Structure 1
Amino acid sequence: MNTSHPGNVGAVARAIKVMGFGELVLVQPRFADVLTQDETLAFASGATEVLERARVVGRLEDALDGVQFVVGTAMTPRDFGPPCHAPRALFEELAARPEPPSLGLVFGSERYGMANEDVYRCHAVVSIPTAPDYGSLNLAQAVQILAYEWRQALGGFAVQGRTKAPDLADAQAVQGLLTHWQQALEAVGFLDPAAPRKLMPRLNQLFNRAGLQSEEIHILRGIARAMQAAPKDR
């Protein structure tokens, strides 16, 4: 409501898009053309379709058309206002309902937050837990946090871009490496074959814990070859 900085509008569009939401309503923004200003578009960083679909209205009640549960944002509770919650607990409770309601998040002006009369229109208020000595959040940052929490309550998204499973070496390759290292350690005088103690079993466990990949087997065998080829007397 009463947004004063075009960059914040663009950043908010970006914040909600990455969480899979697309409805943005501005109530009496400072600039009538805020949705098309260069700074807004720059901060949107590709979320221009959110700006294209966004609405500008003159009253909060017009922005809440179709919203079943209205959540305001405030650092401190208001007298006689709706109950104040931490976002995660409230969103999890809403999402757990047989039919989760359509949710509307209301953010106040960057300069003075939400007016009391607007807070009273909300079903609940959330306050983002912050460090006790510094709780100042930029508008877009607050939107990003709450959009993330609501998305997580709804089930979240699968992590994208998972790396390919490593090509782990099989047990035979590990044992071949172990034999090669035993020969190399004997060649450099580190291992006495007459009194090996527990060195090789310990190396065996080390290699198993490491979960060596095939390429790493090749590297370690190359080191063993270099040890075997090293001059015996220096």
Structure 2
Amino acid sequence: MRTRFILIQTSHAGNVGAAARAMKTMGFSDLVLVAPRWANVLRREETIQRASGALDVLANARIVETLDEALDGVTHLCATAMIPRDFGPPTRTPREHLEPLAKQGDQHVAFLFGSERFGMRNEDVYRCNVALSIPTDPKFGSLNLGAAIQVIAYEWRLALGGYEVREAIQPVQAADAQAVAGMLDHWERSLVEIGFLDPGAPKKLMPRLQQLFNRAQPTPEEIHILRGIAKAMSDATRPPRGDKADKGGKAPGND
């Protein structure tokens, strides 16, 4: 499904960079600018900074003078308008319209965004198949151009199938039963040494700890940490090494 994002008379260079970034994060790259305020907008410092690495989208972007040029090859045109028109295409939420659109087969879809200063002109909206309206708080529906593009790009990518969410870290293997049993033996000895566990009447403390660690499925590294805690508990119950002679005092019997 071919996809194009068209920005009409963009007045802020930073929004062009933000548009490129929003598109790239969702896997889109066809950006067309219609009569932007700055002829060199694709090379301006603010544009490049706001693109945040989406320089390939900027490099491939085109600047044209008319909307007709921008619509070359487009078969389905979506306006983005927060204010419904009394006359013109139907107004839909992005998800409502884009999910069935994605199932229609080969289309060349374009999303049209108006100027930050005066939005979409009626004559441009009338050319579209649909007017997409992002459902926002009725008391405050003002969206930055870059944010609106990000929402539409996300909804369209979601309708097309989306991307898988990747784990931040690779899953690790749980410690084997022998390692868990060895750790529990170590804990049992330490708990006796610190007086927490009465070996004559242990009740169900150790079986409960066994069930706890079975549910937790600790990793080998976590087993090492737990053994270190057990060792520290045991060490805390032992008297300090050395005697008075080691600390500079007199040893008994040396008077």
TM-score w.r.t. the length of structure 1 is 0.91
The separation in 1 between residues aligned to 2:229 and 2:103, in whole angstroms, is 57
Q: Match of 2:151?
A: 145
SS in 2 for 1:104: strand
Equivalent runs, 1:19-30 vs 2, <5 Å: 19-30=26-37
From 108, 113, 122, give the equivalent of 1:116. 122
The separation in 1 between residues aligned to 2:43 and 2:183, in whole angstroms, is 64
Q: Match of 2:11?
A: 4
Residue pair 1:188, 1:232 contacting (<8 A) in 2 also: no
Give the drift of 1:188.
Answer: 1.2
Q: Match of 2:65?
A: 58
1:169 is aligned to 2:200: no
Q: Match of 1:76?
A: 83
Give the drift of 1:75.
Answer: 1.0
Q: Match of 1:217?
A: 223
1:103 is aligned to 2:95: no
Give the drift of 1:73.
Answer: 0.5
From 143, 158, 163, give the equivalent of 1:157. 163
The separation in 2 between residues aligned to 1:150 and 1:133, in whole angstroms, is 26
Moved more, 162-171 or 173-182: 162-171
SS in 2 for 1:125: strand
Equivalent runs, 1:163-202 vs 2, <5 Å: 163-202=169-208
SS in 2 for 1:106: strand
Residue pair 1:70, 1:123 contacting (<8 A) in 2 also: yes
Gaps of 5+ in 1: none
Give the drift of 1:100.
Answer: 4.4
Give the drift of 1:134.
Answer: 1.9
From 230, 233, 240, give the equivalent of 1:227. 233
The separation in 2 between residues aligned to 1:168 and 1:158, in whole angstroms, is 25
The separation in 2 between residues aligned to 1:88 and 1:172, in whole angstroms, is 52
From 54, 60, 72, give the equivalent of 1:47. 54
Larger Rg: 2
Residue pair 1:94, 1:100 contacting (<8 A) in 2 also: no
Residue pair 2:193, 2:237 contacting (<8 A) in 1 also: no
SS in 1 for 2:232: helix
Counterpart of 2:194 in structure 1: which amino acid?
A: V
Deviations for 1:177-212, whole angstroms, at most 9, x for unmatched residues?
112211211111111122222211221121122221
Give the drift of 1:217.
Answer: 0.4
The separation in 1 between residues aligned to 2:41 and 2:86, in whole angstroms, is 33
The separation in 1 between residues aligned to 2:205 and 2:166, in whole angstroms, is 43
Deviations for 1:57-78, whole angstroms, at most 9, x for unmatched residues?
2222221111111111111211
RMSD of aligned Cα (Å): 2.0
